[in-house]
Amino acid sequence: MGQYDAPQQAKANGLYPYFRAIESDQDTVVRIAGKPVLMFGSNSYLGLTNHPWLKEASIKAIEKYGTGCAGSRFLNGTLDIHLELEDRLAKLVNKEASLIYATGFSVNAGVVSCVTGREDYLIFDEYDHASIIEGKRLSFSKLLKYRHNDMDALENILKKCEPDKLKLIVTDGVFSMEGDVAKLPDIVALSKKYNASIYVDEAHSLGVFGKTGAGICEHFGVSDDVDLIMGTFSKSLGTIGGFVAADENIINYLKHNSRTLIFSASITPASTGCVLAALDVMAEETWRKDALWANTNRAKSSFLKAGFEIGPTETPIIPLFVRDNTKTFMLTKMLMDDGVFVNPVVSPAVPSEDSLIRYSLMATHTFDQIDESIEKITRDARKLGIII
């Protein structure tokens, strides 16, 4: 560890792009070092982090329950509003029951690690989120990885599994870096053919896809065919936390076996109240999802017209492929100087030849803000020879 000096080298070159201190709320414009910056690096897809309903609900929860639960859900840390939220989330994603955790990461790490046994199979997409990878590392099951969104590769793996053992396919609904969508209808068909179960991470699709915003499973009409549905509160729902929904037997098992639930402190009253309010907003202000998709379509068409390579994205996450670590850092720095916040994604998160700028949209962005950001990104990318 003492030899690790990559951050120091980036800082010495003036290109270190992480831990940038924001001095305002998470909105379409934030303040950094006293200056306004257009925010195109946020996961607040519906733009709810400063919504008055969420703020009011958080304050009321603190006034009634205090600032924390001082213990785990398993012991002294379950509140009546936890149970209310679990009931609403189960109904949202069309499952019998749900269970809320303090973070989305702890859901995946704590569920994926314990739902299958030593003789069973965990089958996962190579691009699954790091929290899923952490969960599979903690599992004693047989671990099998298939090429990203490659259904032939998935079927070849399923063919090799012992037919009488539990087989759990774990996939992101929306892949958080590339912005593409899991081929859920095909995965469901394969699960039926080979008697497998399915776990879907809806972190980046909740609030974005589906008639009611319930996510990719609702979008494809396969909620009944997916055994476990996971989601987070830190994207569309404006706070922090996560949940998993399934049938009552699975949830009962997790309540008594998921270590990240049993041995972690409860989600705070403020966050719980916030999510309850966010669900109300999502149901009432349906214009937000429509605006998010209008913004997404405008940005995608503009980037393609400018000559950017954006890959197979189908979502408000738009990857701008740079394919060079240093140029990715340079472009991020140039854009920050120009008042545009974006996120660099470089190796080892992705191979160096796949490095990219992650540009993400919110429902509350205006077309003028989008056009201004793309104009600046295009100008700076041309200076670096990323596009012609």
Residues 316 and 295: their CA atoms lie apart, in Å, by 8
How confident is the prediction for the chain on average, in pLDDT? 96
CATH assignment at residue 357: 3.90.1150.10
Answer with the one of 284, 314, 334 that is the final residue of a domain.
Answer: 284
Is 160 marked active-site? Answer: no
Is 235 marked active-site? Answer: yes
Same domain, 280 and 316: no
| Domain membership of residue 32 as a residue range | 6-39+286-383
Contact in structure between 79 and 265 (CB atoms under 8 Å): no
Residue 351 lies in a domain: yes
CATH assignment at residue 261: 3.40.640.10
- Measure Cα distances from 358 to 39, 204, 351 in Å: 12, 14, 15
Choosing from 98, 176, 234, 373, which is the catalytic residue?
176
Residues 147 and 153: their CA atoms lie apart, in Å, by 6
* Per-residue pLDDT tens digits for 309-356: 999 999 999 999 999 999 999 999 999 999 999 999 998 777 778 999
Same domain, 318 and 182: no
Same domain, 292 and 259: no
Residue 82 lies in a domain: yes
Residue 117 lies in a domain: yes
Choosing from 51, 82, 95, 204, which is the catalytic residue?
204
Is 383 marked active-site? Answer: no
Neighbouring residues of 243: CB distance < 8 A, sequence distance ≥ 6: 85, 86, 89, 98, 99, 100, 101, 107, 230, 231, 233
Residues 205 and 180: their CA atoms lie apart, in Å, by 11
* Per-residue pLDDT tens digits for 114-127: 999 999 999 999 99
Residues 342 and 335: their CA atoms lie apart, in Å, by 8
Same domain, 179 and 276: yes
Bridge-partner residues for 359, per DSSP? 318
* Per-residue pLDDT tens digits for 268-314: 999 999 999 999 999 999 999 999 999 999 999 999 999 999 999 99
**141 — alpha (psi -120 to 50), left (phi > 0) or beta?**
beta
Choosing from 51, 129, 235, 327, which is the catalytic residue?
235
Residue 76 lies in a domain: yes
Give Cα 388 distance to the centre of its chain: 32
Residue 356 lies in a domain: yes
The model carries a pTM of 0.96
Of 287, 275, 177, the closest CA to residue 231 belongs to 275
What pLDDT does residue 384 have?
Answer: 97
Domain count, the chain: 2
What pLDDT does residue 352 have?
Answer: 77
* Per-residue pLDDT tens digits for 120-169: 999 999 999 999 999 999 999 999 999 999 999 999 999 999 999 999 99
At residue 163's C-alpha, the angle toward residues 159 and 169, to 5°, is 65
Q: Which two tokens stand for residue 231?
A: 């989601």
